[in-house]
Structure 1
Amino acid sequence: MGVAQRKPQLRLISDQDDWDLALAYFEEYQRSAGLAETTIRNRASFVRTLRRSCGKSYEEVTLVDLRRHLGRPGITAGTRRTERGALVAFFRFLLEDDFRGDDPTVRLAPVTAPKGTPRPFTRAQIDAMLDSGAYRKTRAMILLGYFQGFRVSQIGAVHGGDIDRLTSTIRTVGKGNKERRLPLHPVIAELATTMPADDWWFPARGTRTGHVRGSSVTDLITKAKIRAGITDPKLTPHSLRHAYGTDLVEAEVDIRVVQELMMHESLATTQIYTGVSERRKRAAVDALPGRVVPIRSGRSANPLAA
């Protein structure tokens, strides 16, 4: 039986089975293209949100439905833009693989979102989380987020075999399955002596094998944040990575070096960290030489003055 024959028929449906089957094919498609598991899971979540919002089969979803869904209140412009990207990818896949005969996202307007700004934890806040009574592995996650600048998905996937003590480096896989070997911070080198040398640092629980998911890392660090009395909703586990980038720039590390350490594809992404240091702004303004301001205009001495 060919693949096309196994696909769900284009018909009116009221249950979620056909959505789930289409999503399963979509996930396979993305994996074959080398997309990260985090991206695949996030896109699936956005598609399921649309399904609940529309209450329609995927072949019935219209441009109006998509506009109404993306325009719903309570979501930020950045989230709306990310969600639009996921839906565009999903419906283009449905068209390419003959799940439906058209693509309703063709005329879906791009979402304008303000330029992102870092939302870093301060060192005092990071210390408060470490001293909050968090368990040893949660503290290790916090340290990896700040001293290596890892995303939660990278934190969850750390393996003892990633550490190379001879070169003092750590292997990690970032967005787009980009594999890098980065300098190992001394704090993490010391941490490694207390963690498994030939196994996952944060193994999955229960019947699952492998390592914990990024969502579990998020939950654990968030609990430490709450215990530390940090109430700012804009501060998330990803803010540890923002603190990493911000403090590197504050230490006057070359921006290209920061880009490499943070595994940013574009320098423009890294440059958002250059605008957050009030100390450096003040130093820049103070660098302008002063001058004596005359008390009088001097017009009487120079009648031709403007």
Structure 2
Amino acid sequence: MSTNATIDQWELWHHGVRLADTTRSERIRVLRQFATEAGIDPTYAQPLDIVRWYSSHPEWTKSTHYTYHSYLVTFFKWLQLQDIRADDPMIKVGKIKQPKRKPRPVADQHLIQLLRTNMHHRTRVMILLAALAGLRCIEIAAFRGEHVDVPRGRMLVQGKGGSEEWVPLHPVLVATAEGMPARGWWFPSNRTRPGQHVTRKSVSQSVGDAFRRADIPGSAHRLRHWYGTTLLEDGADVRVVQELMRHSSLTSTQMYTGVTDLRMRAAVEKLDLYRAIA
């Protein structure tokens, strides 16, 4: 079986198990990159081929290295399940520890500054969906007028893997919806994808450009981090925040609980030196 045929079969499997398009496209992209840069058919890659490929990319962050490693682990397990390959080279490569991720929420004052900056109306709506509903870029891109249920004060979010979740509609988003299409895409593609919505990358670029014009650090995903962190800082139960952020695991939500500067500062300020020496 040729390199392309194996990769095409793997891509077909992703469609069959209904994994998210972004997951599928990224895994295929990385596997093709490995095949090209290592100069081999990944179907028959040996542990040394994989380790040398890793070593050829010292610029990778720990997070990138971990992610790409997990893609290869999945690929070789799939080869075994399909009886295409008997052994698993990743066993000799070893495990890579997942780096601890910490949310990086936009600062409150920076969010205010961002919203005061002149920008296209639809870019502002993208920002509000990220900050007041915690939507990811891919969820913003595919948002439709039919997803808003004003009478019930809720909105439908189509998330990872085709999941659908209803979440409360923030009052600002209720007002925002009045100026957006009641049916169809909120962010239709202008030229490149007629009849379709904009891409995840397009949302990320639009919001990123707004941050740059405001001369402040930030991104669309950092607005989502602000959403989760602020909910917890304001006293929301971690299980409630898990549902609002649509995390499949509570572990993902708990990542937000230990990083708030406000809580750490408050804890330090409560230290009583005189009580300690009394």
TM-score, normalised with respect to structure 2: 0.90
Q: Cα deviations across residues 71-95 of structure 1 (Å, max 9, x unaligned)?
A: 4201111111111111222233334
3-state SS of the aligned residue for 1:172?
strand
User: Which stretch shows the higher mean deviation, 199-208 or 239-248?
Assistant: 199-208
Unaligned runs of 5+ in 1: 1-8, 11-17, 295-306
Q: For the Cα contact (< 8 Å) 2:141–2:187, is it kept in 1?
A: yes
Pairwise CA RMSD: 2.1
Matches within 5 A, 1:8-19: 9-10=1-2, 18-19=3-4
Letter of the 1:222 partner, please give it. Answer: G
Q: Report the Cα offset of residue 98 of structure 1.
A: 4.9
Identify the residue that residue 142 of structure 2 maps to in structure 1.
Answer: 157
1:249 matched to 2:235:
no
The aligned counterpart of 1:283 is 266
Are the aligned partners of 1:171 and 1:179 in contact in 2 as well (CA < 8 Å)?
Answer: yes
Structure ranking higher in helix proportion:
2
Distance 2:248 2:155 in 1: 19
CA distance in 1, matches of 2:227, 2:235: 13
When structure 1 is superposed on structure 2, of 156-165 and 219-228 the one drifting more is 219-228
Q: Report if the CA contact (8 A) 1:156-1:202 is conserved.
A: yes
Is residue 17 of structure 2 the alignment partner of residue 30 of structure 1?
no
**How many aligned residue pairs are there?**
275
The superposition leaves residues 113-157 of structure 1 with CA deviations (integer Å, 9 ceiling, x where unpaired) of 331111111122223333333211111111111100011111111
Alignment of 1:153-302 (within 5 A): 153-208=138-193, 209-230=195-216, 232=217, 235-287=218-270, 291=275, 293=277
User: What SS class does the counterpart of residue 187 from structure 1 fall into?
Assistant: helix
Aligned-partner Cα distance in 2 for 1:174–1:252: 25
How far, CA to CA, are the matches of 2:101 and 2:114 in structure 1?
25
Identity of aligned residues (%): 37
2:46 and 2:89 in contact (8 A); partners too = yes
Matched residue, 1:143: 128
CA contact (8 A) 2:189 2:196 kept: yes
- Structure number with larger C-alpha Rg: 1
Q: Distance in 1 between matches of 2:265 and 2:110?
A: 24
Following superposition, the deviation at residue 38 of structure 1 comes to 1.5
Distance 1:112 1:195, change over 3 A: same
Does the 8 Å CA contact 1:160/1:201 hold for their aligned counterparts?
yes
1:49 equivalenced with 2:39 (yes/no): no
Does residue 1:69 correspond to 2:53, yes or no?
yes
Deviation readout 1:252-306 (Å, 9 max, x if unpaired): 1111111110111121211121122222223334456652735xxxxxxxxxxxx
Task: Pick closer, same or farther for the CA change 1:132–1:24 going to 2, 3 Å.
Answer: farther
Q: Secondary structure at the match of 2:95?
A: coil
* Counterpart selection for 1:129 from 114, 117, 137: 114
